[in-house]
Structure 1
Amino acid sequence: MPLNAWKIVFQIMLTSINVVCWLLPLRAKNFSENKLLLSLANAFSGGVFLSLAFGHLIPECIHGFSELPGDRNETIPYMAILFGYLVIFFMEKVAFDHHGLLNDMETEQKSAMSPSAAVDEHSTPENTPPTPNSPPLPTPESATANSHSSRSAVILLGALACHSILEMAALGLADSFADSALLSLSIALHQPAESIALLVAFLKSGMPKPEIVKFLSAFSVMGPIGVCLGMAVKQVAPPIVDALMLATVAGTFIYVGATEVIPEEWEDQEHKWVKFGALLFGITSIFIITQYTAGLEGAALAN
């Protein structure tokens, strides 16, 4: 099967995982997640992203720049990697700050559901207080909180959509089946946490479920767009564009692993040693696999 066909197969699998991760909890009346298992998978994926960046993408990027014709500044690939890091940093911390949005939405939801916000004695007929079993009355404060939460959820969707496109572009740029499989594995481990976080944000906003389905479906489409973008660059763009895309994706992976996943997991010190073991396992396992596949490719080229 051609490599691009495998990339499409992997993307279909990743998109299916993405949809399942938000659709099943949305359909369930009460869903609970195994927080420890999700945390370990997230820590493992952080190690995978770092190992892929430093053990595979950056060497490939530098090799790509070295094969370009003409004399070039040796610092260019490293600055291109830094540019990739800053692009995703700007989108997630400056332009959108999706972690801050999640925290703000939780605070607003709690304040909207507090007794002082939910019960206003002047809003009941003849100043009669509601009975203990009556539902909380809608108030301007709660309506404003829900409206702002909805806007925040949509902004969060935009941030994660851009993030998803950059991640999936790496799959489209992969040079071999082994690289495609490794990238798909790392994304599959990392993506469920993002899907669940986005679902929780929309549920907290009070948005109707049909609307949530529309927004999350749009988010799931971003993956195929990213893969198609990477494949197009690989097929028709000059080698310099391929090298720059690899550098940008490497910077993105460094951000995801070192700035997003790892600090987030260690904000909670519970199970820190187990999570550290998962992180190291992610780094070492992917490093061993990439070195093994590189050896196989080298032997094949020698023969």
Structure 2
Amino acid sequence: VILTMASSEIIIIQLVFIALIFLIGFTFGIIPNKVPFLKNSAALLGIANAFSGGVFLAIAFLHVMPEVARDYDHYKNPHEHDDPPKLIPGTLGHGGEEESYFPLPFALAFLGYSFILLIDKVIFDTHSLMGEH
């Protein structure tokens, strides 16, 4: 494979950013274990855990899910994917009738999240067994 100068520069930039993201994650992952007053701070670790969960949810719902919905629409309607009104839910179709639109990728994401929440909070709920509230 012959790489052009532009594509080799892009690969170098990608590798630099991969290393940078790894170092940032590794550094901030080690800090709570190495700093004594952070090691025993349940409140601070809880806030950091909630923040990291929020980052993953934001990535999922703001970046990944719209792409999944678009790709699902392309898969569902392979010959009509270039028609801009087809990509907008609830728009009028070719004959003037409103097309039915069910956001299956979003519904599956909601069901998956609800299933994990059910498993975590109902099936493996250890607070009631330990007497904590």
TM bin, normalised by shorter chain, reads: 0.3 to 0.5
TM-score (norm 1): 0.21
Greater relative contact order (CA < 8 Å, ≥ 6 in sequence): 1
TM-score (norm 2): 0.39
Greater helix fraction, Structure 1 or Structure 2: 1
